[in-house]
Amino acid sequence: MKILVLNGSPTPNGNTVALVNAFKEGAESKGHDVNVVNVAHKNIKGCMACNFCKNAGNGTCAQKDDMQEIYPLIQDADMIVFASPIYYFIMSAQLESVIHRFYAITSPKKAKYSALLLSSYSSNVYSGAMAQYKDMIGYMGMTDKGIITADNSTNKTPEKLAEARALGESL
């Protein structure tokens, strides 16, 4: 499968990236093609609700920012993984912007599967992000393959990284 990971963490060697790398290692060991896009370092604005995409744009976005390089990756992916630190009980603003910009295409063309990787400081701070993720993938027609969360007591531990690797290997 072609797997697109949308990483919403701005921290290069942080806790979210540790989950992403372990997941990637596991998935690649089973022959999957994993492309990680660090969206927090891209220039991606929020949706302007201009509805160009629903009219003259015919599924294309009026905003010509770095999202233009991500749309073809989304359309080509068989699976989309959302990875983010928890910021105030939801995913990072950078990843939320990317999610809102899915509006132009409504749903990915091919992607049937998805997963969610979350890192936080506290435990039990995931209900908002998980509810959004579950509703969103249902709306987009994707099936969840797994959710991994890591907090201050488990971030970067061998056990947690093994869990993320196992998720990749399970695909």
Ligand X SMILES: Cc1cc2nc3c(=O)[nH]c(=O)nc-3n(C[C@H](O)[C@H](O)[C@H](O)COP(=O)(O)O)c2cc1C
* Contact residues for ligand X, defined by CB under 6 A: 9, 11, 14-17, 85-89, 119-122, 125, 155
Question: Minimum distance from CB of 110 to ligand X (Å)?
Answer: 28
Position closest to ligand X via CB: 14
DSSP letter at 87 equals: B
What is d(CA 81, CA 59) in angstroms, rounded to the nearest whole number? 22
Which amino acid appears at position 76 of this protein?
D
CA separation for the pair 113, 33 (Å, rounded) = 14
| CB of 7 or CB of 63, closer to ligand X | 7
Q: Which is nearer to ligand X, 122 or 143 (CB)?
A: 122
Q: Pick between residue 160 and residue 165 the one whose CB is nearest to ligand X.
A: 160
- Shortest distance, position 14 Cβ to ligand X, whole Å: 2
The residue type found at 24 is K
Give min distance, CB of 94 to ligand X, in A. 11
Whose Cβ is closer to ligand X: residue 107's or residue 157's?
Answer: 157
**Of 158, 163, 12, nearest in space to 85 by CA:** 12
CA 154 to chain centre: 20
User: To the nearest whole angstrom, how small is the minimum distance from the Cβ of residue 56 to ligand X?
Assistant: 37
What is the Cα–Cα distance from 110 to 95, expressed in whole angstroms? 21
Q: Measured from the CB atom, is 63 or 119 closer to ligand X?
A: 119
d(CA 94, CA 84): 9
Q: What minimum distance in Å lies between the beta carbon of 128 and ligand X?
A: 9
Q: What are phi and psi of 132, to 5 degrees?
A: -60, -50
* Dihedral sign from CA coordinates of 77, 81, 85, 88: positive
